[in-house]
Structure 1
Amino acid sequence: MKDIEVNGAHITDESAEILKQWQIKTEPVSACYIRVIEETIDDLTDEESEPLSPKKL
């Protein structure tokens, strides 16, 4: 996976593809939401990571 910039946020190309598919049906996403979405995706796909806490958001 490579790191790319979307709406001012640096995210992985995998997350960018998910966002692109999601944005087709909605309005553009701001950088802060992209970060939350990417961290959520990471937490859902990484069994060794700590659960996403409200403090992280």
Structure 2
Amino acid sequence: MQCHVLTRLPRLRSHPCVERALTRDRLALHSRYYEVRTGAVRTHRPQTDTFESL
């Protein structure tokens, strides 16, 4: 399921209002994954392409 989070980012970035805000440094996107079963929240680290616990 974590890969789903990453595949949605390009689509989100392509929305005109999001694209404008990103270009103007008025918005930052963070990829996070919530595991319902355990309650764990993991965030994506682009530098290592891994999800790490918060």
Greater Rg, structure 1 or structure 2? 2
Higher strand share: 2
Common fold: TM-score over 0.5: no
Q: Which has the higher contact order (CA 8 A, sep 6+)?
A: 1
TM-score (norm 2): 0.36
TM-score (norm 1): 0.35
